[in-house]
Amino acid sequence: MRLQISTQLAIFAVLELAAREGQQLSVADIGEKYGVSSHHLAKVMHVMGRAGLVRSVRGAGGGYQFAGNARRTTLLDVVQLFEDANSVEQDGGAADATPEGQALRQVLSEIDDIARATLGSITIATMRKLVDRHATGNGRQSKAGRPRQRGSLAP
């Protein structure tokens, strides 16, 4: 499964902000850690601000704060802001009406259903615990088996 860059950035930003509730981070802080431009990140933050997941703090040292509930916000809540959650919907082409098109759709929907159930069952708080496991080298699913080089934001 692949997520668009904006979606990944949104998840990273929420994870960073949720790790520091009540504090704020600038897009430059987050952008530096993940190697992305502040411009790209600002657009992502704007979308999340409209959805009430983050709030901007004005003034010197301004930035963003997490505004959601980390124990009740799931990855799906974030992903749905940037991706079409029903990606296997028919596109209206002639192939959709054929038995072949329907069979393929059935298989792809199976994959989508699993992806949705996975993203919908993992909260930001659960993700933070998983992040911490990787940071201490216990992330079982980590291909490299070791935590990545830490950015300036790493706790």
Ligand X SMILES: CC(C)(COP(=O)(O)OP(=O)(O)OC[C@H]1O[C@@H](n2cnc3c(N)ncnc32)[C@H](O)[C@@H]1OP(=O)(O)O)[C@@H](O)C(=O)NCCC(=O)NCCS
Gap between the Cα atoms of 83 and 104, Å rounded: 21
Residue 141 binds other proteins (CB under 8 A): yes
Q: Between 24 and 63, how does the x/- string for binding to ligand X read (CB under 6 A)?
A: ----------------------------------------
How many degrees, rounded to 5, is the angle at CA 127 between CA 125 and CA 128? Answer: 65
CB count in 10 Å sphere of residue 86: 11
Residue 72 binds ligand X (CB under 6 A): yes
- 38-50 and 27-34 helices cross at what angle (nearest 10)? 120
Among 86, 98, 113, 148, which residue sits at the site for other proteins (rule: CB under 8 A)?
113
Residue 146 binds ligand X (CB under 6 A): no
Give the binding range for other proteins (CB under 8 A) out of 5-13, 28-36, 83-91, 124-132. Answer: 124-132
Binding residue count for ligand X, defined by CB under 6 A: 2
The radius of gyration of the chain's CA atoms, rounded to the nearest angstrom, is 18
Contact present, 64 and 45 (Cβ < 8 Å): yes
- Strand, coil or helix: 147: coil
Residue 115 binds other proteins (CB under 8 A): no
Residue 71 binds ligand X (CB under 6 A): yes
Residue 21 binds ligand X (CB under 6 A): no
